[in-house]
Amino acid sequence: MSVVVVVGAQWGDEGKGKVVDLFTERADLVVRYGGGANAGHTLVIEGKKLVTHLVPSGVCHPGKGCVLGDGMVIDPHTLLDEIAECQARGLLMKNELVVGRGAHVILPYHKLLDGLREDRGATRGKAIGTTRRGIGPAYEAKAARRGVRVRDLAKPERLRELVAGNLDELTPLIVHLGGSAPTQAEVTKWIDDALRAGEQLAPYVGEAGRLVADAINAKQHVLFEGAQGCLLDLDHGTYPYVTSSSTIAAGACQSAGLGPTQIDSVVGITKAYATRVGSGPFPTELHGEAGERLRQAGGEFGATTGRPRRCGWLDLPALRMGVRLSGMESLALTKLDVLANLPEVSVCVAYKLDGKELDEPPTDPEDLVRAEPIYQTFPGWGPLGTAKSIGDLPPTARAYVETISGMAGVPFCLVSIGPDRAETIRLSDPFG
Ligand code: IMP
């Protein structure tokens, strides 16, 4: 196995940062393939927190290549801040980072539009609850073939022309949504800032697709790091409460420009319970004290926006759907320790809708809201200690883990029982 894709199995925030960090030990190249600064990875290096939004979690292993694929939408200023922060910690000092020339650029008017739409949506109970990082508007521009790409940051005339063309169409929309028409001075500043950022990023810009292909051909270990989770996928997630990119494993092929036959293995990451940020159906959500307990125990606050995450029981039909959508062959279970010391732990094993039992969530959001989760409940368990194998876990925790894997239909490759690298039960290595 030399090409492995890691994807979140639910709505993101499954703890991909720790898992990617562990898998990077055996990887030569780590590739982020979709989304932008809407993602947030909290990494702990020598006891100090490092939060990255764009740079892959593999950054903690100096000397390993990090690639931002062409399918991403990149805020150049956020990226420069992150590079500076990494370098202040001695990371990314050896030309490890390559930013795809074809990736799209997020400009201030994308963020402005994202925020205006959210504000307007909120007054009508229709906000998506986006991260307001301009992700949707930047992908809209891309699909409309009006986007600004990283390569355009090195061409001042082209950039000016693209921005003017975009704003010609978008200014009436900005005003319609309650914003002020950008002044000429503002637009000039946006462009000058972008050009300056482009100059600073120039040493990192390269042919990401070719680089990845060369690494694969050279039989190097390539790890694709998914962002968000399968249920936030633009085509297959809980639309419209999704992000604007392809978050499933196939997105890796699209973004990096490689064929599906080159992927050797897909690992899904699932938390031992479920969380969601933003709006949208979440049938196993726990409200009140029960949800608050999980939120506090799991530190469930967004790494990007600081928003409290909605918390609930693990949803196995949704997990099955994630397994199917991404072709997962193994799973990494994270944050099992967070469930310790609860009187009991439940897991949704099926849905009931109109008298029928469903083994995957209904795909129509209106049906999903009506569907009733069917739960299996386990007696709680105490602290997990320093378990090194599944057999070391308390019997009920073990039964819980085995039920998840049995119902998802794929084995676990690791179970995480704490934030530290050492607090991990390793069962198999995705690189073989
Ligand atoms: P956007 O990606 O900022 O447009 O937000 C769309 C939806 O995806 C919102 O519900 C966000 O909360 C959610 N979302 C985007 N990125 C992440 C992430 O990295 N983790 C969890 N939720 C996310």
CATH number at residue 167: 1.10.300.10
Do 136 and 192 share a structural domain? Answer: yes
Q: What is the pLDDT of residue 365?
A: 85
* Token reading at 336: 């099992």
d(CA 149, CA 107): 11
Asked which of 203, 223, 257 is the last residue of a domain, the reply is: 203
- pLDDT tens digits, one per residue of 93-141: 888 999 999 999 999 999 999 999 999 999 988 899 999 999 999 999 9
In which domain, by residue range, is 135 found? 104-203
Q: Which residues are catalytic?
A: 13, 41
Asked which of 203, 223, 253 is the last residue of a domain, the reply is: 203
91 C-alpha vs ligand 1 centroid, how far in Å? 27
Coil/strand/helix, residue 280: coil
d(CA 293, CA 75): 35
276 band by pLDDT with thresholds 50, 70 and 90: very high
Q: What percent of the chain has pLDDT over 70?
A: 100
Q: What is the pLDDT of residue 195?
A: 98
79 C-alpha vs ligand 1 centroid, how far in Å? 18
Number of domains observed in the structure of the chain: 2
d(CA 140, CA 146): 9
* Ligand 1 residue neighbourhood (C-beta within 6 Å): 11-13, 38-40, 128-131, 133, 135-136, 227-228, 232, 241, 243-244, 277-278
Do 213 and 173 share a structural domain? Answer: no
Residue position matching structure tokens 């609860």: 342
* Token reading at 150: 């990283």
pLDDT at 385 over 90: no
57 C-alpha vs ligand 1 centroid, how far in Å? 18
Do 226 and 283 share a structural domain? Answer: yes
Is 432 within a domain? no
Do 384 and 306 share a structural domain? Answer: yes
The phi and psi torsions of 41 (rounded to 5 degrees) equal -115, 125
CATH number at residue 214: 3.40.440.10
pLDDT at 263 over 80: yes
Burial class (CB in 10 A: 0-12, 13-18, 19+), 150: buried
pTM value? 0.95
DSSP state of 338: G
Asked which of 183, 203, 223 is the last residue of a domain, the reply is: 203
Q: Does the CA dihedral 274-277-283-285 come out positive or negative?
A: positive
Do 295 and 235 share a structural domain? Answer: yes
- pLDDT tens digits, one per residue of 30-83: 999 999 999 988 777 677 788 899 999 888 888 899 999 999 999 999 999 999
Do 420 and 282 share a structural domain? Answer: yes
152 band by pLDDT with thresholds 50, 70 and 90: very high
Is 431 within a domain? no
Do 149 and 213 share a structural domain? Answer: no
Out of 207-211, 299-303, 357-361, least confident range: 299-303
Ligand 1 atom nearest 130 alpha carbon: 5
Do 272 and 135 share a structural domain? Answer: no
Residue located nearest, by CA, to atom 10 of ligand 1: 278
Best mutation site among 117, 131, 230, 269 for ligand 1, i.e. most ligand atoms within 8 A of its Cβ? 131
278 C-alpha vs ligand 1 centroid, how far in Å? 7
Q: Provide the β-strand partners of residue 352.
A: 357, 372
Torsion angle of C-alpha atoms 302, 14, 40, 304, degrees rounded to 10: -10
Would residue 354 be called left, alpha or beta, if left means φ above 0 and alpha means ψ between -120 and 50 degrees? left
CA distances (Å), origin 311, targets 283, 285, 302, 355, 375: 11, 6, 12, 27, 16
